[in-house]
Amino acid sequence: MSLDRETIKAVFESFKALKILVVGDIILDRYVFGEVERVSPEAPVPVVEVQKEEFRLGGAGNVANNLSSLGIKTYLLGLVGQDYGRHIIRGLLKASVVEDLTVEDPKRPTTEKTRVIARSQQLLRIDREERASVEGRTLQELLERLDLEVDGILVSDYAKGVVCRPLMDRIREKGIFFSVDPRPQNKSLYVGAYLMTPNEKEARAMAGEESLPHLGWRLKRELNLKTLVITLGAKGMALFDREYKVFPARARQVYDVSGAGDTVVAVLTACALAGMDWDSACELANLCAGIVVGKLGTATVSPEEVFAYFEEGCGV
């Protein structure tokens, strides 16, 4: 089924009835914007004169923000530290109308990525994180907060320790739809997912270097996945459901691909829970990703932007 304005409108309307829980690694994205006019006399490095700073929700937080931007009742479960970062994240969640279920872990900092940018070029990234698996009382709190009535769960794994076997076992026990944006090192945790959305590099790390169709079917079979979608960057995405299909990308301009995978898994999960067929879901996810990659940094897309993009002839 090809997309048209009425179909898209009906899908967005159906999103308003959904409740989705996002579980995973929450990241605080800090952007430091400035100008470079000289090289430091202390070392051969550029001197950045800071002009502004921005904070955005990254990782699982960006996934939740994407869902909320589409009008979906969204909950976010993950970890924050007992530091200033938790206050910024909670403020951003409130502004994004995302229900905050975060758990404070006194043993780790709030995961933070600082990007220094000058003239639209990233000069440096500084990471502050703890990647050990969550355990003890903190793990128990996470498991307890899974006891929530929702239509589906989206697992956003950035390999920072939240997504672990006890958590995934508890999610499977709930017996409801769950999707996964994976990391190869945690492959064994994703068995039985209703949807998994690796990029091509992640898929090859999990299933080998054979042809895309072969590795896709193999990965789907090994993990007993209901549906697999492999994102292919500028080439679009490949769907492995009853058959194999490739959907071309719909980007008008690629400015920054960071966070595009978050948008894809958010849109596909929402479409599946709204009862949309997979072909149309992939077309809509491509459309939304095409908008997001035209923005700098982690970003979201609104229904209004989708309609405008579609009517400008960038739709299907």
Tell me the residue ranges of DSSP E strands in the chain: 19-24, 26-39, 46-59, 73-77, 79-80, 99-100, 103-104, 112-118, 121-128, 152-156, 177-181, 195-196, 227-231, 237-240, 244-247
Indicate if the pLDDT at residue 297 is higher than 90.
Answer: no
Cβ distance 267 to 292 under 8 Å? no
**What is the pLDDT, as a whole number, of residue 135?**
95
Q: Whole-number mean pLDDT of the chain?
A: 93
What is d(CA 28, CA 59) in angstroms, rounded to the nearest whole number? 8
Domains, the chain, ordered by start = 5-314 (3.40.1190.20)
What is d(CA 106, CA 109) in angstroms, rounded to the nearest whole number? 8
Count CA atoms closer than 13 A to 265's CA, side-chain side.
34
pLDDT digits (tens, 9 = 90+) for 267-276: 999 999 999 9
pLDDT digits (tens, 9 = 90+) for 179-195: 999 999 999 999 999 99
Q: Among the options 4, 262, 277, 279, which is catalytic?
A: 262
Torsional sign, CA 140, 160, 262, 272: negative
**What is the pLDDT, as a whole number, of residue 316?**
46
Cβ distance 250 to 289 under 8 Å? yes
What is d(CA 90, CA 148) in angstroms, rounded to the nearest whole number? 20
Indicate if the pLDDT at residue 314 is higher than 60.
Answer: no
pLDDT digits (tens, 9 = 90+) for 126-137: 999 999 999 999
- In whole angstroms, what separates CA 183 from the centre of its chain? 12
| Closest to 212 (Cα-Cα) out of 225, 227, 202 | 202
Q: Is 262 a catalytic residue?
A: yes
**What is the pLDDT, as a whole number, of residue 309?**
81
Give the lowest-confidence range in 46-60, 192-206, 283-297: 283-297
